[in-house]
Structure 1
Amino acid sequence: MDEFLARQLALIQQAVVDYRGGVFTLNQLVRRVEALGNVIGGEFWDEQLFDIVLDLEGINSELIDKGRQMTATEQERVKDILSQLEAITAGQC
């Protein structure tokens, strides 16, 4: 893996840590990861990360559209998605 991709994946990992630590809202996390995805682009993004981030965006959009907080089910789903994201990015760094 090239150094550029490793740096971008490390930034995704840090964004997840920041979200869990309360530094970012879910919306901020999604925007950050999507921005990094635009930078990464290519096959790795399309095959490894796009669908996971799309799931996260779906939850985020629902919350924004309806102006509500996450349900317990959504919180668990976000937790699972973040675990998947971390596993993929950690395995590549």
Structure 2
Amino acid sequence: MSFNMNDDQEVITNLVELERFLLSVEMGTLGLEGVAGVGMATNNSDGRHFVAVFDEQQKLLLARWISVEVFETGKDLVRYGTRLKH
């Protein structure tokens, strides 16, 4: 994984930041190879939420912490993709 989940400075705190992250994944600007999906989840040990990028074997390629608000309001954006098309 190319991201340290302990880095609290990387928290996505609003939908604009989430959309920017998803567009970066969709457009390939993050340099990830074999992206097959994106999802939201909750860390079992501390209850914090994150958005994650997976490959076809469901291996975690990249993750970013997200705020509770983004977790609650950004589900459709993650599920259906960004409004902007490249």
TM-score range, shorter chain: 0.3 to 0.5
- Scaled by the length of structure 2, the TM-score of the pair is 0.36
Q: Which has the higher helix share?
A: 1
- Scaled by the length of structure 1, the TM-score of the pair is 0.34
Return the index of the structure with the highest Cα Rg.
1
> Looking at both structures, which has the greater relative contact order when contacts are Cα pairs under 8 Å and sequence separation is at least 6?
1
